Amino acid sequence: MDTIYEGALAKINLTLDVLGKRGDGYHDLQSIMQTISIRDDITLHLGTGEPWKLVCDKDWVPTDERNLAWKAAKVFFETLGKDPNGLAIEIVKRIPGEAGLGGGSADAGAVLRALNRYYDSPLSVYALCELGAQVGSDVPFCTLCGTAMVEGRGERLRKLPDIPEMFFVVCKPDFSVSTPELYQKLDETAIAHRPDQRAMEAAIAKGDLAEIADKLGNVFEPVVISQHLELNYIKSILNSYGSYGQQMTGSGSAVFGIFDSFEYAAVACTMLKDNYSEVFIAKNA
């Protein structure tokens, strides 16, 4: 039996725009995504000689073929025509669920990277991302990691320059948002402000932290805030303690703030922990 390890990095959306509904029922997206250092840990045991199994330290995570990590392994082995002779997946979960941080997708991406490495990298990273698209919309980016423009359903990726080192305070409030319901509401809403993708790309190319923070934009955020005003409270705390910019990630409900120093981030984190149990400090990764 062989054992391999891989970290699964959370993602945030620096920009997120929904361009419209497609004929297949999905939506076309345009988003600049960034991986951050909040991570799950994935352990794979190959050659167990037993039926596949998945275990996780959090009881809300599915431990069967519904899990995206399981699906990713299945797609990998089917595509390469290989049989691991038994597989066990262990997940140590730190990325909050239903937060817009891509936790399940991060796990799937980590499984794809780990298996590809184990078999001496038969697939390029972009071929691996294409496999990820069969598993879930955020999986291609969570396989690639770093900074990237993501388009379509998530399957079209363009790598961008790395952003400068910055610190993120991420706060997951106690409520979650139904993504399908949110899309439906967005379809019925006139979008007043869309993120300026070109301006964000220019800020990233310059490596200007303040400008990156200034160009944040997520079309889902006003829709969620209209029902959950406490997101404004979280944003105000982040702003009060030195955040350059703050925004909801993905379809929510986690909010992040951008800081230029660990010290300021730590103070904001401490203040939020008075009211919220899931508050993290992270760096871009």
The residues annotated with a catalytic role in the active site are 11, 138
Q: Could you give the maximum distance between any two Cα atoms of the chain, in Å?
A: 56
Q: Is residue 74 exposed (0-12), middle (13-18) or buried (19+ Cβ within 10 Å)?
A: middle
d(CA 3, CA 47): 9
How is 83-127 classified by DSSP, letter by letter? --SSEEEEEE--SPSSSSS-HHHHHHHHHHHHHHHHTT--S-HHH
Closest CA to 251 of 74, 7, 91, 17: 17
Side by side, the strands of the sheet bearing 278-283 are 245-248, 255-259, 167-172, 278-283
CB contact set of 249 (below 8 Å; sequence gap of 6+)? 11, 12, 13, 99, 100, 101, 170, 218, 255, 256
CB contact set of 24 (below 8 Å; sequence gap of 6+)? none
